């Protein structure tokens, strides 16, 4: 059972912050294309500054804070994972490759057997 609560209610200020962030992204893209005659450095600076401003505005909203909290929780869970040692990982990889080879041989033999039964024995279509 999951204890995660979904919140869909946003205040007007949060909606405004998200709208401003979206407008900053659009403005950064427009500035990038409008400043093409100014040179690549100016273009990229305008784009990066606009995107950085949009990220900052978004992170101040409730959605942004929730995203940051989710990222922290996910990182905390990843640190709890017990990763296998190199030897164990190599063994499991070898098992998987071995199984794939055995399954490929089985399917190839099954295909050839069915081909022989249907085409040679039943239909008499010799190659």
Q: Is 24 exposed, middle or buried (0-12, 13-18, 19+ CB in 10 A)?
A: buried
Eight-state DSSP code of residue 41: H
Residue 118 and residue 71 share a domain? no
Q: What are phi and psi of 7, to 5 degrees?
A: -110, 120
Residue 19 and residue 76 share a domain? yes
pLDDT at 8: 60
Residue 107 lies in a domain: yes
- Residue range(s) defining the domain that contains residue 57: 11-81
Residues ≥6 apart with Cβ < 8 Å to 119: 125, 127
Chunked into runs of 10 residues, the chain (127 residues) has average pLDDT values of: 61 90 96 93 95 95 93 95 94 98 98 92 76
pLDDT at 53: 96
């Amino acid at each position: 059972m999951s204890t995660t609560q979904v919140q869909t209610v946003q205040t007007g200020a949060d909606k405004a912050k998200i709208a401003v962030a979206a407008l900053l992204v659009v403005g950064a893209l427009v500035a990038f294309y409008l400043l093409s005659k100014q040179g690549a450095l100016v273009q990229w600076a305008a784009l990066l500054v606009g995107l950085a401003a949009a990220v900052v505005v978004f992170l101040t909203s409730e959605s942004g804070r929730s995203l940051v909290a989710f990222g922290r929780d996910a990182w905390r869970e990843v640190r709890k994972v017990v990763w296998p040692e190199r030897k164990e990982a190599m063994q499991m990889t070898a098992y998987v490759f071995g199984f794939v080879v055995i399954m490929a041989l089985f399917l190839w033999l099954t295909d050839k057997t069915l081909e022989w039964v249907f085409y040679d024995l039943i239909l008499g279509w010799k190659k």
